[in-house]
Amino acid sequence: MRPVDEHVAHAVSLMAPVDLDEVALAEAFGRVLARTVTARYDSPRFDNSAMDGYAVRAAEVTVGTRMRVAADIPAGSGEPPALHSGTCARIMTGAPVPHGADAVIPVEHTDAATAEVTFYQSAVTGAHIRRAGEDARAGDAVVAAGQLLGAWQLSAAASAGHATVAVRRRPVVAVLATGDELVDPGMEPGPGQIVDSNSTLLSMLVTAVGGVPVVLPRCPDRPGAVAAALAGVDADLIVTAGGASVGAYDPVKADLAGHGVEFFAVAMQPGKPQGLGTVNGIPIACLPGNPVSVAVTFHVVVGPMLRALLGAVEPKVLAAPAAEGWKCPAGRAQFVPAVVESDGSVRPATGGGSRSHLVASLAAGRVLAVVPAEVEQVYAGDTVGIMTSILENMG
């Protein structure tokens, strides 16, 4: 069997990053940053008040000091007049601190008067002043290339002085489900038929990682059908589901093995039978057919391929304790769609083990629990790996 790492490295080696697009911030949500965003100016831009209160010279104020209010400085004020000794200035949050002032006393610790104010607190040098550049200096990297752009990253880019960012073009991913037993969602399955859930699963996963899915017409289990279905396809990546195993009617393997695609037994559960290669010059990943296997192999193999197209960094594998024990296959890494409990522990959503047809149970899963190949039993409380790319890709 082929180790998972080796299979993923092979998959990623088939990919090269797609080109760049310069887009408005509002169009960049959920996309991958292609060029590091640097600050155009210091953040904060200027020394400003962190509180509504009074700008003072700290050495001049103690409990009970009365002082003339020489100026009023609302947010948005231009350069305020310098603060003269023996006076203070009323100042609002975010307003520029006048030259000469070295502390702000919050209004709550005064009588709030506007002509002559009484302080109920002494001043500490530097208190309640946000210093220019303490967050970032002009020229500093604020958002690194390869990051997925969510609300936090885009607000940082806006604040750094940018209205547009460079992102990767959304890669087009052709999705092909195979199987004579499949009918469309909403159709009443006849005897021996089931609903095609993989087309929905794959196209939504492609969207979640930042690609544009193109769902090809479903392919029957007939020799030549897969090759014909892929003949005119123009895409950055092709993903097939089903028909890749050792069944007598497995059409993906029958058509593509030896024609640019190699098939492997990958040391993982679920998701053992898989193919990789190129068809008409386009990289292709052939996934198994069972829906949980498709969900898992997409995250483990196709996710990294798409992120290679997008120049995106791989999400970290986290760790969490197992809420309950479960069995793991000897010699195969295990990937279990899992429920996260409120105490941070995880338990299998789909029963674990080889129950990779449990598509209804998949709905409860939020993360993938990962157990290394050498482990044969997880006990409650054991630490397992956690892949959260499902969540991160929500932006």
Name the token pair of 37: 């965003």
Distance, C-alpha 325 to centroid of its chain: 29
Q: Where does this chain touch ligand AMP (CB under 6 A) — which range of 7-15, 112-120, 196-204, 346-354?
A: 196-204
From ligand AMP, Mg ion, none, interface partner of 245 (C-beta below 5 to 8 A by class): ligand AMP
The span of 70-78, 90-98, 177-185, 259-267 binding ligand AMP (CB under 6 A) equals 177-185
Query: Counting every residue, how long is the chain?
Result: 395
Positive or negative CA dihedral for 30, 32, 35, 36?
Answer: positive
- Omega before 270 cis (within 30°)? yes
CA atoms of 6 and 176, how far apart (whole Å): 25
Position among 53, 96, 213, 243 found at the interface with ligand AMP (CB under 6 A) = 243
Q: Which is nearer to Mg ion, 261 or 340 (CB)?
A: 261
User: Residue 182 or residue 333: which is nearer to ligand AMP going by CB?
Assistant: 182
| Cβ–Cβ < 8 Å for 97, 48 | yes
Q: Which amino acid is at 229?
A: A
Considering the complex, what minimum distance in angstroms separates the CB of residue 139 from ligand AMP? 51
Of 30, 96, 171, 242, the residue at the interface with Mg ion (CB under 5 A) is 242
Tokens 């193999």, residue located: 301
Please say whether the beta carbons of 208 and 394 come within 8 A: yes
Whose Cβ is closer to ligand AMP: residue 21's or residue 180's?
180
Q: Is 304 in the site for Mg ion (CB under 5 A)?
A: no
Selected from 65, 198, 297, 334, the binder of ligand AMP by CB under 6 A is 198
Each residue 119-158 as x (binds ligand AMP by CB under 6 A) or -, in order, gives ----------------------------------------
- Kind plus residue range of the DSSP H or E element containing 209: helix 198-209
Least spacing, CB of residue 245 vs ligand AMP, in Å: 5
Nearest residue to 157 (alpha-carbon basis) of 170, 169, 168, 141 = 141
Classify residue 394 as exposed, middle or buried by CB count within 10 Å of its CB (0-12, 13-18, 19+). exposed
> Between residue 203 and residue 242, which ones bind ligand AMP under the rule CB under 6 A?
241-242
Q: Is 311 one of the binding residues for ligand AMP (CB under 6 A)?
A: no
Sole binder of Mg ion in the list 80, 243, 270, 277 (CB under 5 A): 243
By CB under 6 A, name the one of 98, 171, 213, 291 that touches ligand AMP.
Answer: 291
Q: Is residue 255 near ligand AMP by the rule CB under 6 A?
A: no
Quote the least distance from Cβ 251 to Mg ion, whole Å.
8
Specify the 3-state DSSP secondary structure of 33: strand
CA-based end-to-end distance of the chain = 35
Residue 87 or 178: the one with the smaller Cβ distance to ligand AMP is 178
Residue 218 to residues 228, 276, 354, 365, Cα–Cα distance (Å): 12, 20, 26, 27
Positions that interact with ligand AMP (CB under 6 A)? 177, 179, 181-182, 194, 196-199, 241-243, 245, 247, 288-291
